[in-house]
Chains A and B, each alone.
Chain A
Amino acid sequence: AQTVTQSQPEMSVQEAETVTLSCTYDTSENNYYLFWYKQPPSRQMILVIRQEAYKQQNATENRFSVNFQKAAKSFSLKISDSQLGDTAMYFCAFMANYGGSQGNLIFGKGTKLSVKP
């Protein structure tokens, strides 16, 4: 069974600074996808960034980037130039690829990020 661990229940960062959220996972699968989702207060969860396990290059989306270490089973999210709108719960999630057949999204417990003015 796959598991996802987010060891930081809460974090805070000053506006315009950089913050890194940690995520580790455990799996025996070789093909899988990793995701970071953002859940603002009282709003829907939205996809921030995704990483394919067979790609060595780290994914980036504007101010969001990941540090994917496959051997260490680590998948951290870096937010640069933090903005007040980044305040949210952030979930790391794992999805196995069973030879083209999807697994289901498995989530970590989340990290509550507060961006302070």
Chain B
Amino acid sequence: DAMVIQNPRYQVTQFGKPVTLSCSQTLNHNVMYWYQQKSSQAPKLLFHYYDKDFNNEADTPDNFQSRRPNTSFCFLDIRSPGLGDAAMYLCATSRRSRVWDYGYTFGSGTRLTVV
């Protein structure tokens, strides 16, 4: 089945140690998103790629970066994780021309713990 896959499901990192989360998709969708989801809070969009065009949300900290080397893969890099960055990170995809019809397709998320 076509899907969005996030690896790893659980990631433990040390305070200040760079960490990378990955997302891959077999849907051939042209838009990929990264959301941060903290407990009891709304999922918050960090940034998205429309093809190779990177779109950063105004309030996304500089500590968060992203890379999309090709259509299928997108990475979230946290350069110096702090305790406040512990959260579930959700990757999602959409086909720009059909987003109204189908919304986004989400991965299962990566739960990041910072120790």
Contact surface of A with B, Cβ cutoff 8 Å: 4, 9, 33, 35, 37, 42-47, 50, 52, 91, 93, 95, 97, 102, 104-110
Contact = CB atoms under 8 A, between A and B. Distances in A.
A45 B96 contact: no
Nearest to A102: B99
Contacts, number: 52
For A42, A44, A107, A110, the residue with the greatest tally of chain B CB atoms inside 10 Å of its CB is A44
B112 to A, nearest CB: 15
A21 to B, nearest CB: 15
Nearest to A42: B108
B4 interface: yes
Given A43-B108, A44-B106, A44-B109, A105 B45 contact: yes
Interface residues of B, number: 23
Contacts of B41: 109
B78 interface: no
A104 B100 contact: no
B contacts with A: majority SS: mixed
B104 interface: yes
B3 to A, nearest CB: 9
Closest 8 pairs between A and B when the two form their complex, measured CB to CB = A45-B106, A107-B42, A44-B108, A47-B103, A107-B43, A109-B42, A44-B106, A102-B99
Contacts of A4: 42
B49 interface: no
Given A46-B106, A110-B42, 12 more contacts: A4-B42, A33-B100, A43-B108, A45-B106, A52-B100, A93-B103, A102-B94, A102-B96, A104-B33, A105-B104, A107-B43, A108-B42
